Amino acid sequence: MDDTLTVTKPLRAFLTEYHKNYVTERALVSQNQLLPRAGKRPEVMINKQFSRDVPNLLRINGHPCAGETPEDKIRFAYDNIVRAVDGNTEKAQRITLVANQNLGIFMYELLVKANSHRKDVVVMQVGEHHLDVRTMRRGIVIVFEALFRLQKNDSIELEGDVVKGFAKVDFVHKNVSFRFSKPKSS
């Protein structure tokens, strides 16, 4: 990716800002949902934002979450996260607070801020986006990829330059980076 904008932060600084803006009392990420015991599988308490986003947005190590039902996919994702953090369910819960659509919104807002000097365009999300939870022996890295369009204010047509966005929340090395490509004509 030919970067035009890169923002890097220590993980702790990112989490402070992220929680202040997205982990609020009324946010879905702050509301819990109980997945009841299913056979030998124990009950699991998970935040509603993560539950909502897993079936269509989340991947584990580049692959869609396995399972026939949304609940199966949620359990699959959560179980993989718990295994990657050596069974520490408290740490897994903290990771699910970030591993959701709000990370994409955070990225969108960074791009809006970076283009605030341009009064002729508005930033729009376009196309597919996805979030990949990469599990490793030493922990977890979350990667979010999305496409954005710099839409001309005076146009009713969907046209404008496309920007690729890439976010990496690295719980192993304790840093976060956001990269955006140079705008390319669509």
Nearest CA to 84 out of 49, 44, 28, 76 is that of 76
pLDDT in tens, 141-158: 999 999 999 988 877 777
Nearest CA to 24 out of 87, 112, 105, 79 is that of 105
Check pLDDT > 90 for residue 9.
yes
Q: What is the pLDDT of residue 138?
A: 85
Q: What is the pLDDT of residue 2?
A: 55
Q: What is the mean pLDDT of residues 56-69?
A: 95
Q: What is the mean pLDDT of residues 42-46?
A: 90
pTM for the complete prediction? 0.90
Q: Where are the domains of the chain?
A: 3-181
pLDDT in tens, 97-147: 999 999 999 999 999 999 889 888 889 888 779 999 999 888 999 999 999
Residue 26: which H helix or E strand, with range?
none
Q: What is the pLDDT of residue 7?
A: 92
Is residue 91 very low, low, confident or very high in pLDDT (cuts 50, 70, 90)?
Answer: very high
- pLDDT above 70: percentage of residues in the chain: 97
Q: What is the pLDDT of residue 166?
A: 96
Nearest CA to 84 out of 104, 67, 59, 61 is that of 61
Q: What is the pLDDT of residue 42?
A: 85
